[in-house]
Structure 1
Amino acid sequence: MDRLRTTRTLLLFCSLITWCGCVVLAAPPEVIKPQAPLYTVVRGEHGVILLTKNGDRFEVISTVEQARAWSGDAPNFKVPAGTPPSTQLLLDSSGVLHAFSLKARGDGRKPAVDFFIDLWHSRTEDNGARWSESKPYFEGYVGDVLDFDQLPNGRIVVPFAYWVPGLEDGPPVGSNRTTSVVSDDGGATWSKPVSALTSPCYPDHNGSNNGAVEPGILPLRDGRIWMLMRTQAGFLYQSFSRDGVNWAEAASSRFHSSSGPPSLLRLPDGRIAVFWNNCEMPPREQGQGVYGGRDAIHAAISDDEGRTWQGFREFYRDRRRNETPPHSGDRGTAYPISGSSKDGKMVVLAGQGGSGRNVIFIDPDWLTETHASDDFSNGLDAWSVFKEFGPASGWWRDRCQGPELIDHPTKPGAKVMHVRRPDDKHPDAAVWNFPNGRRGVLSVRLMPREGFGGGNLALTNRFFNPNDVRGDSLAMFSLSLPTDGLLGKKPALRTGTMHTIKLAWDIDRHRCDVRVDGQQVTSLALLNSTDNGVSYLRLASTAAEIDPAGFIVESVDVVIEEARTLPGEPGIDIPPESPSPATHGVRHESP
Structure 2
Amino acid sequence: MIRRSSGELVIFFINRPGDANKMMVIRSHDDGISWSEPAVAFDLPGQAYYANQVLEDDQGTLHVVFHLFSSGTNGYRGRHLDLWHTQKRLDADWEKPKKIYDGYVGSMRGFIQLSNGRLLLAFARAMPAREQKPAPGAADYGWNETIACYSDDHGDTWELSPGTVNIAVDPTNITRYGGVEPAIIQLTDGRVWMLVRTNKGQLYESFSGDGGSTWSPPQPTPFISSDSPATLLRLRDGRLVILWSANQRYDDQRSYANGGREVLHAAISSDDGKTWKGFREVLVSPVSSAEKGDRGTAYPSAVENSDGKVVFVSGQAEERAIVMFDPDWLAHRAAGDDFRKGFVQWTFFGIDAGFSLDIPARGEKKALCVQPQASAGHAAVWNFPAAESGQLTVHFYTTDVNPGIELALTDHFSVSHDTLAAKHAVVRFSLPESKISGSGKLKVEITWDSQRGDAHIKVNGKPAGTAAFSRNTDFGLNYLRVGQASTTSSGYYLTSVKFEAK
1:159 paired with 2:159, answer no
What letter matches 2:274 in structure 1? R
Alignment of 1:155-554 (within 5 A): 155-168=118-131, 172-205=140-173, 208-242=175-209, 243-284=211-252, 292-320=259-287, 323=288, 325-356=289-320, 358-387=321-350, 400=352, 402-412=354-364, 414-422=365-373, 426-450=376-400, 452=402, 454-482=404-432, 485-486=433-434, 492-543=435-486, 545=487, 549-554=490-495
User: Across the two proteins, how many residue pairs are aligned to each other?
Assistant: 486
Deviation at 1:361, TM superposition (A): 1.2
8 Å CA contact 1:42–1:50 kept in 2: the answer is yes
Show CA shifts across 1:518-537 (max 9, x none): 12222222221112100111
Give the equivalent residue in structure 1 for 2:99. Answer: 136
Deviation at 1:404, TM superposition (A): 1.2
User: What is the alpha-carbon distance in structure 2 between the residues aligned to residue 227 and residue 401 of structure 1?
Assistant: 43
Give the equivalent residue in structure 2 for 1:72. Answer: none
What letter matches 1:259 in structure 2? D
8 Å CA contact 1:231–1:259 kept in 2: the answer is yes
User: What is the alpha-carbon distance in structure 2 between the residues aligned to residue 308 and residue 68 of structure 1?
Assistant: 34
Relative to the length of structure 1, the TM-score reads 0.76
What letter matches 1:132 in structure 2? E
CA distance 1:509–1:292, change in 2 (3 Å) = closer
User: What is the alpha-carbon distance in structure 2 between the residues aligned to residue 271 and residue 169 of structure 1?
Assistant: 43
What letter matches 1:51 in structure 2? I
User: What is the alpha-carbon distance in structure 2 between the residues aligned to residue 381 and residue 101 of structure 1?
Assistant: 38
CA distance 1:47–1:248, change in 2 (3 Å) = farther
Deviation at 1:364, TM superposition (A): 1.3
Show CA shifts across 1:219-250 (max 9, x none): 01101000101111111100000121201011
Aligned-residue Cα RMSD (Å) equals 2.8
Name stretches of at least 5 consecutive residues in structure 1 with no aligned partner.
Answer: 1-40, 70-75, 388-398, 487-491, 562-591
User: What is the alpha-carbon distance in structure 1 between the residues aligned to residue 377 and residue 333 of structure 2?
Assistant: 31
User: What is the alpha-carbon distance in structure 1 between the residues aligned to residue 373 and residue 87 of structure 2?
Assistant: 60
Deviation at 1:214, TM superposition (A): 0.6
1:101 paired with 2:66, answer yes
Alignment of 1:12-31 (within 5 A): none
What letter matches 2:451 in structure 1? D
CA distance 1:379–1:161, change in 2 (3 Å) = same
Relative to the length of structure 2, the TM-score reads 0.89
8 Å CA contact 1:457–1:537 kept in 2: the answer is yes
Deviation at 1:180, TM superposition (A): 0.6
User: What is the alpha-carbon distance in structure 2 between the residues aligned to residue 196 and residue 538 of structure 1?
Assistant: 41
Show CA shifts across 1:308-346 (max 9, x none): 1111111111122xx4x4344432111010111011111
Give the equivalent residue in structure 1 for 2:136. Answer: none
User: What is the alpha-carbon distance in structure 1 between the residues aligned to residue 392 and residue 6 of structure 2?
Assistant: 41
8 Å CA contact 1:331–1:354 kept in 2: the answer is yes
Deviation at 1:290, TM superposition (A): 8.0
1:560 paired with 2:468, answer no
Give the equivalent residue in structure 2 for 1:14. Answer: none
- The percentage of aligned residue pairs carrying the same residue is 32
8 Å CA contact 1:169–1:209 kept in 2: the answer is no
CA distance 1:291–1:402, change in 2 (3 Å) = farther
Q: Which has the higher contact order (CA 8 A, sep 6+)?
A: 1
Give secondary structure in 2 for the equivalent of 1:365: helix
What letter matches 1:507 in structure 2? S
CA distance 1:511–1:284, change in 2 (3 Å) = closer
User: What is the alpha-carbon distance in structure 2 between the residues aligned to residue 269 and residue 288 of structure 1?
Assistant: 39
8 Å CA contact 2:268–2:330 kept in 1: the answer is yes
User: What is the alpha-carbon distance in structure 2 between the residues aligned to residue 302 and residue 290 of structure 1?
Assistant: 27
8 Å CA contact 1:46–1:342 kept in 2: the answer is no
User: What is the alpha-carbon distance in structure 2 between the residues aligned to residue 372 and residue 120 of structure 1?
Assistant: 46
Give secondary structure in 1 for the equivalent of 2:465: strand
Give secondary structure in 1 for the equivalent of 2:421: helix
What letter matches 2:69 in structure 1? A
Show CA shifts across 1:126-184 (max 9, x none): x3322222211111111001220000111000000011114348883322111111110
CA distance 1:249–1:46, change in 2 (3 Å) = farther
User: What is the alpha-carbon distance in structure 1 between the residues aligned to residue 480 and residue 33 of structure 2?
Assistant: 38
> Which of the two has greater strand per residue?
2
User: What is the alpha-carbon distance in structure 2 between the residues aligned to residue 540 and residue 194 of structure 1?
Assistant: 53
